[in-house]
């Protein structure tokens, strides 16, 4: 097994290489895409894709286009999320947000092109050298489903529509399931699909993803009130400023921390469906629980 750091380096270099290489008339667009894509994110989603593929006994390199695709979808969603007509955030990961550097028009188009590129790389001849067309179709379909109208984007709409409305816990759960967990599910399921896993294993990976996804969102809500702007790379207290219901506002911090523990344990239990060494995925679940940004 490769260690997590090796995989992260592999992802960084692949992401950069998937951007068009050379000088183009629309260079500003490519620069803007690169600005947000190569921003030193944690690369959790693509790492999950690679780790699950390897866990299924297939060389993780085969899953690299799918890993990078899910990171591109995540990146495009952040670019659009930061726009003035959405969350209106000037900073992301301690750097100016895309539209503050390139303008709202280019930022909008940059997100659009990033989504197209995600599908392009999953369906390219190069990806298909290592993966059957059946697997490529199934993996790309999985991502399209989880990132779209009843997935990630749907979750963002639920988020927007419930601002200032004191949404209850059911709405919050549906929102986070779609807004956050859906893309993590896509990452884990795609790794299993490329790895040729059984339906039972794909379901277990999806359960793992659900648990760490919801835990991830709760930790985000906790950090928004307990962290510093420096650690977080963005202003703290923004949920409160925006009058949003969060796990913390509905359940309180102690109950939230308990919930994160329970979900992390559930995630680790889901890994029992796999025969190989699941240490890296266990460690990842634990590190997400204990993160400070």
Residues of this chain that interact with a second copy (CB under 8 A) are 19-20, 24-26, 28-30, 33, 76-77, 80, 83-86, 103-106, 108-109, 111-113, 115-117, 119-120, 123-124, 128, 132-134, 136-138, 140-141, 144-145, 147-151, 153-158, 160-161, 171, 174, 178
Which residue, 120 or 231, is less far from a second copy as judged by CB? Answer: 120
SS3 91: strand
Residue reference for tokens 């955030």 = 89
Report the C-alpha gap between 284 and 164 in whole angstroms: 34
What one-character DSSP code corresponds to residue 92? E
Which residue, 166 or 229, is less far from a second copy as judged by CB? Answer: 166
SS3 277: coil
Which residue, 132 or 276, is less far from a second copy as judged by CB? Answer: 132
CB of 234 to a second copy, least distance (A): 19
CB of 73 to a second copy, least distance (A): 8
**Residue-wise over 106-135: b if at least 16 C-beta within 10 A, else e?**
bbbbbbebbbebbbebbbeeebeebbeeeb
Which residue, 68 or 268, is less far from a second copy as judged by CB? Answer: 68
Residue reference for tokens 């967990």 = 181
CB of 129 to a second copy, least distance (A): 12
Q: Residue 96: in which H helix or E strand, if any?
A: strand 95-96
Tokens, residue 283? 């460690």
CB of 97 to a second copy, least distance (A): 14
CB of 229 to a second copy, least distance (A): 25
Query: How would you classify the pairing of strands 95-96 and 91-92?
Result: antiparallel
Which residue, 119 or 282, is less far from a second copy as judged by CB? Answer: 119
């Amino acid at each position: 097994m490769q260690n997590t750091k090796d995989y992260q380096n592999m992802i960084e270099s692949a992401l950069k290489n998937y951007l068009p290489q050379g000088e183009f008339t629309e260079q500003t667009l490519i620069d803007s895409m690169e600005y947000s894509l190569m921003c030193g994110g944690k690369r959790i989603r693509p790492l999950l894709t690679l780790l699950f593929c390897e866990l299924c006994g297939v060389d993780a390199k085969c899953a690299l286009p799918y890993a990078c695709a899910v990171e591109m979808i995540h990146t495009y969603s952040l670019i659009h999320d930061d726009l003035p007509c959405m969350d209106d955030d000037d900073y992301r990961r301690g750097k100016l947000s895309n539209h503050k550097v390139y303008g709202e028009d280019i930022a909008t188009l940059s997100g659009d092109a990033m989504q197209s590129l995600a599908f392009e790389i999953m369906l390219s001849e190069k990806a298909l050298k290592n993966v059957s067309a059946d697997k490529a179709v199934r993996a790309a379909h999985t991502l399209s489903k989880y990132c779209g109208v009843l997935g990630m984007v749907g979750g963002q709409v639920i988020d927007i529509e419930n601002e200032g409305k004191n949404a209850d816990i059911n709405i919050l759960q549906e929102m986070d399931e779609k807004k956050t967990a859906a893309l993590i599910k896509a990452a884990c399921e795609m790794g299993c699909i490329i790895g040729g896993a059984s339906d039972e294993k794909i379901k277990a990976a999806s359960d793992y993803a659900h648990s760490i996804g919801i835990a991830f969102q709760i930790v985000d809500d906790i950090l928004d009130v307990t962290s510093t702007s420096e650690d977080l790379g963005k202003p703290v207290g923004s949920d409160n400023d925006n009058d949003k219901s969060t796990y913390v506002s509905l359940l309180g911090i102690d109950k939230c921390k308990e919930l994160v523990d329970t979900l992390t344990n559930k995630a680790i239990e889901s890994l029992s469906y796999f025969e190989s060494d699941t240490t890296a995925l266990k460690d990842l679940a634990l590190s997400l629980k204990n993160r400070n940004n």
